[in-house]
Amino acid sequence: MYSTEQIKELQKLTASLVKADHTDKAFEIVEDLRKALQFHEYRYYVLNDPLISDTEYDQLFKLLEKIEQANPELITATSPTQRVGNSLNPAFNTVAHLVPMLSLENSYNAEDLIDWDRKAREVARKEELEYCVEPKFDGASISLIYEDDFLVRGATRGNGVEGDDVTTNLKQIRSIPLHAAFAEYGIQQVEIRGEVMMSKKAFAAYNEQLTQQNIAPLANARNGASGSLRMKDPKDVARRKLEAFLYNVSYYTRTGDKVHAEKEKLLNTHSGILQMLWNVGFKSPLKEMKVVKGIQAVINYCNEFESKRDDLPFEIDGMVIKVNDLQLQESLGMTTHHPRWAIAFKFKARQATSKLRIVEFQVGRTGSITPVAKIDPVFISGVTVTSISLFNEDVIKEKDLKIGDTVLVERAGDVIPYIVKSLDEVRDGSEKEIVFPTNCPVCNSELYKEEAEAVWRCINIECPAQVVERMIHYVSKDAMDIRSFGEANIRKFYELGLLKDIPGIYELDFTAISKLPGFGKKSIDNIQAAIEASKHQPLNRLIFALGIRFVGETTAKVLANAVKHLMDLKDFSEEKLQQLEDIGVKVANSVYTFFQNEQNIEMLQQLETLGIEMSNKKNAAVVQGGLAEQTFLFTGTLNRLKRSEAEEMVEEHGGKLLGSVSSKLNYLVVGEDAGSKLEKAKKIHSIKIISEDEFLSLVDKNITG
Ligand code: IVH
């Protein structure tokens, strides 16, 4: 749907439409564009399998916006442009659910499940029951109402009987369709239940942004989802890149129209309902669920899922088992608290309690003071935890933590461990306040805190802790990547007076170092070679390595792309910086301040004299041709390069990276254990499928050629 050429055509056509008034033609195009956008949103947000690039999607979206602006009478409530709320949410209204949102009975082991199955079979008077087993999503529950196929309301769970009307915020979630063809199933009004989720990937990306802004990261993806539903600004909701899984229809009314028998049949079972939800455009757990007969098969599937819990793209805390036959569900009915036709199977806890012994205060490279809790060692899902970041003073206050407290610690998947809460029920009065220092624990200068910030900071840029942390960051893997010259060496050389600042890395006295124990010829050769190689790192790495506040890897790339030489940034005003992609007031101010500081400029001049490359090689490569105009995608495990290195090589030589296999792709680079991407690429003949070695020689040819 819509090739690049067609998009260009449309752009031309729109320009003329906006000038003159051709409402009929505009109407036709608007309808067409909406269909195309809805289709591509579905491919992207529900199927995770886009057919066009983000840029092409944005172009189509902007076209629609433009025509709608010129012809406001053509705007409809379900137009993709109408998701993006421009106004803030007023107070949230309380609304009653059509059917109360119940919670489920929990089970923790096979015996619990066997017991539950026995009771259900007794009530149902059946030898064996058919169950639908699906993940128990660990997010925030929601309830949606559609009438005549249109989304009319979305609410939080609230107290189960009443929740908050959060429709505007839920419209920011692209996997929730604004329009869904329930009428095809003879359904007029329907209430559906589901869970808003933040995927592990979205959670990590969002937290990286927060960390760069010195804001305490979200503790876990569940908080990321639940904390978003009642946010004032819908744009903040959109930023969290949430998804919604819909898994239950709690109520519906019929239109009375005749329905195709195949479709009608779906309404008889829970798995059929999941299929219907999928068919009309929802992300239902259709791919994740399994219909099985008998409780042993249920237990097997639960165990199977638990073992791959960490490999899933989103957090689940168990499985939900539902009687598949909806009529039977009805006759099983409810106990006082829970439905008898469903039960949750909870996975093993990832929480444990421990004692908070002391809090240490660490100084980061930007002078930020981070409190770190030292706890009695505790074993949680395969790892012994002894040390937990508390991020800032506010976290200590909010959680009311005290030295000597018993604390509940959680460690979910690859998320760093965190303290959920202190258990004040078991306090005995001997607990002590955590006193936040007023002076830097390393250089003793007074600490400061900016008004809008939660972080206390040591502003002495010569503070030894900061100097050392800056050097550690400079040599780190994602920065200048000076391997074999890690944290330990930096600390040692600094303490011995052999290294005092970043330029000093390039002026090390190796004769002195060779006299230190453990530094033989071979290790010195390695360090020297790594230091030498770092001089030619791409400019974006150097910018990131400088450790400018708020400048993460992505911003460093944007800055590098904007200049021919690092020193050009000296001439950028804050306004000019803000014109760059994704650079806001705060980042612009920080970059500007960095490049106006004489000491910093001196350090950069020193680095340049020492031979560190400061011009933008990438821009040069594009001019020469390189891989320009070529698109790449990597799949499987690479042997010689890290994925990030390979991707960087593509960009450095002017090529473009794509997120998925489509006819736009020129090269699929295949590593070990490549999966579905490879299969898909084989079907598109224009794609060249190459190995890692072939990729390297392609790059090589482009450099030398
Ligand atoms: S069914 C009447 N299915 O778990 C039961 N719930 O303690 C309707 N949840 O409040 C819920 N994944 O928020 C159901 N696949 C799933 C679920 C699920 C997560 C949540 C839901 C519910 C809670 C039950």
Residue found under tokens 């400079």? 474
The answer to whether the CB of 317 is under 6 A from ligand 1 is no
The answer to whether the CB of 342 is under 6 A from ligand 1 is yes
623, amino acid identity: V
Q: How far is the CA of 137 from the centre of ligand 1 (A)?
A: 7
Residue identifier of the C-alpha nearest atom 8 of ligand 1: 102
Q: Is residue 37 over pLDDT 70? A: yes
Question: What is the model's pLDDT at position 296?
Answer: 97
| Confidence class for position 15, pLDDT limits 50, 70, 90 | low
Mean pLDDT of 99-124: 92
Q: Is residue 345 over pLDDT 50? A: yes
Classified as helix, coil or strand, 482 is coil
| Confidence class for position 622, pLDDT limits 50, 70, 90 | very low
Pair 143, 101: CB distance under 8 Å: yes
Q: Report percent pLDDT > 90 for the chain.
A: 58
The answer to whether the CB of 136 is under 6 A from ligand 1 is yes
Digit-coded pLDDT (tens) for 283-331 = 999 999 999 999 999 999 999 999 998 889 999 999 999 999 999 999 9
The answer to whether the CB of 134 is under 6 A from ligand 1 is yes
Q: Is residue 366 over pLDDT 60? A: yes
Average pLDDT, the chain: 89
Burial class (CB in 10 A: 0-12, 13-18, 19+), 262: exposed
Rounded Cα–Cα distance for residues 196 and 555 (Å): 29
Question: What is the model's pLDDT at position 251?
Answer: 96
Residue 106: DSSP 8-state = E
- Catalytic residue IDs: 136
The answer to whether the CB of 314 is under 6 A from ligand 1 is no
Digit-coded pLDDT (tens) for 141-186 = 999 999 999 999 999 998 889 999 999 999 999 999 999 999 999 9
Beta-carbon count within 10 A of 61 CB = 18
Of 385 and 658, the one with more pLDDT: 385
Q: How far is the CA of 143 from the centre of ligand 1 (A)?
A: 11
The answer to whether the CB of 195 is under 6 A from ligand 1 is yes
Q: How far is the CA of 13 from the centre of ligand 1 (A)?
A: 49
Strands 631-635 and 656-657, bridge-based pairing: parallel
- Per mean pLDDT, which range of 344-353, 564-573, 586-595 is the poorest? 344-353
Residue 275: DSSP 8-state = H
| Confidence class for position 659, pLDDT limits 50, 70, 90 | confident
Rounded Cα–Cα distance for residues 143 and 195 (Å): 8
Question: What is the model's pLDDT at position 9?
Answer: 73
Question: What is the model's pLDDT at position 2?
Answer: 62
| Confidence class for position 703, pLDDT limits 50, 70, 90 | low
Residue identifier of the C-alpha nearest atom 6 of ligand 1: 136
The answer to whether the CB of 103 is under 6 A from ligand 1 is yes
| Confidence class for position 87, pLDDT limits 50, 70, 90 | low
Question: What is the model's pLDDT at position 625?
Answer: 52
Residue 218: DSSP 8-state = P
Of 704 and 565, the one with more pLDDT: 565
Q: How is residue 399 written in tokens? A: 């959680």
Residue found under tokens 């790495």? 541
Q: Is residue 20 over pLDDT 70? A: no
Element counts in the chain: helices (H) and strands (E): 26, 22
- Residue 502, CB half-sphere, CA atoms under 13 Å: how many? 32
Taking phi over 0 as left and psi of -120 to 50 as alpha, with beta for the rest, 132 belongs to: beta
Question: What is the model's pLDDT at position 621?
Answer: 45
Beta-carbon count within 10 A of 536 CB = 10
Rounded Cα–Cα distance for residues 282 and 192 (Å): 11
Q: How is residue 353 written in tokens? A: 């309690």
Q: How far is the CA of 96 from the centre of ligand 1 (A)?
A: 18
Is the pTM value of this prediction over 0.85? Answer: no
Question: What is the model's pLDDT at position 50?
Answer: 79
Question: What is the model's pLDDT at position 652?
Answer: 78
Interior/surface letters 202-220, b for 16+ CB within 10 angstroms, e for the rest: bbeebbeeeebebebbbbb
Classified as helix, coil or strand, 666 is coil
Strands 162-164 and 94-96, bridge-based pairing: antiparallel
Digit-coded pLDDT (tens) for 369-397 = 999 999 999 988 778 999 999 999 999 99
Q: Is residue 705 over pLDDT 50? A: no
Q: How far is the CA of 207 from the centre of ligand 1 (A)?
A: 27
Pair 552, 366: CB distance under 8 Å: no
Taking phi over 0 as left and psi of -120 to 50 as alpha, with beta for the rest, 170 belongs to: alpha
Q: How far is the CA of 151 from the centre of ligand 1 (A)?
A: 21
| Best probe residue, ligand 1, of 132, 134, 193, 345 (max atoms within 8 Å of C-beta) | 193
Q: DSSP of 499-560, one letter per residue?
A: --STGGGGG--HHHHHTSTT--HHHHHHHHHHHHHHTT--HHHHHHHTT-TT--HHHHHHHH
Residue identifier of the C-alpha nearest atom 9 of ligand 1: 136
| Best probe residue, ligand 1, of 107, 132, 136 (max atoms within 8 Å of C-beta) | 136
Question: What is the model's pLDDT at position 466?
Answer: 95
Rounded Cα–Cα distance for residues 123 and 118 (Å): 9
Residue identifier of the C-alpha nearest atom 16 of ligand 1: 136
Q: Is residue 643 over pLDDT 50? A: yes
Q: How far is the CA of 136 from the centre of ligand 1 (A)?
A: 6
Give Rg (Cα) of the chain: 29
Q: Is the C-alpha dihedral spanning 259, 262, 265, 271 positive or negative?
A: negative
Digit-coded pLDDT (tens) for 416-454 = 889 988 998 889 999 999 999 999 999 999 999 988 788
Digit-coded pLDDT (tens) for 202-240 = 998 898 888 777 777 887 888 899 989 989 888 889 889
Q: How far is the CA of 104 from the centre of ligand 1 (A)?
A: 7
Pair 530, 474: CB distance under 8 Å: no
Rounded Cα–Cα distance for residues 284 and 177 (Å): 12
The answer to whether the CB of 102 is under 6 A from ligand 1 is yes
Question: What is the model's pLDDT at position 696?
Answer: 86
The answer to whether the CB of 441 is under 6 A from ligand 1 is no
Question: What is the model's pLDDT at position 623?
Answer: 42
The answer to whether the CB of 527 is under 6 A from ligand 1 is no
Q: How is residue 523 written in tokens? A: 């290790």
The answer to whether the CB of 305 is under 6 A from ligand 1 is no
